[in-house]
Structure 1
């Protein structure tokens, strides 16, 4: 099987390659085609296996959208088989990092309020968080001898 050279042929071969990868049949993809798709940064080697790159995923989705549009305009009821790769999945690591950053920011704000003594919304059980002056109501140990003199 010759390696496709035009962009349309490469897009079609990418779609077929993705189908083979989803069926775990990467041996059906010719080696020269794999090399070409890796050179285009549409596929990458990962741990001894092939997987789609971000660019490859975008090209694949564009190809599926183009095929759907052609099928709709021609009035054909045949649409490509939608797979799990076509469904957007949440980026859990990004969400986790955002939660960690929010916790860190909240902790820094709390420490700042505590150090400046301007914590109007701080809980009452934290000493010094209510904005009490440094001298406070309780006399210091060295205030007593000065008061008696």
Structure 2
């Protein structure tokens, strides 16, 4: 059964604890918010790791994994997205694997790697909204 991207993204975003701004938001804005939440969680995980705060590291990495898996990957439509959706899905899977390793090993370089991989995708998504009509 197919669930529209907007519904999946809204549901996933609610599940990761974000309450404000999702009602009435466009699918594009919801994905933007997911990227923002992901980057925020990754930065918070790095900070927790630097402080030696293991419970907070686990919480933040867990939130980042949920955003990647349930929000961003869950919002992909392989039937309509084709190769791009497949590539993004593979990237999100890789990021989840690296974050799982980071959590188990306390490896901040894995968290930083995910940030480096996700940031250009998030920036590209934001540029779509900034593009003049007809050029996106």
TM-score interval, smaller chain = 0.3 to 0.5
Q: TM-score, normalised by structure 1?
A: 0.30
Give the strand-richer structure, 1 or 2.
1
Larger-gyration structure (1/2):
1
Q: TM-score, normalised by structure 2?
A: 0.33
Give the helix-richer structure, 1 or 2.
2
Greater RCO (Cα-Cα under 8 Å, separation 6 or more): 2
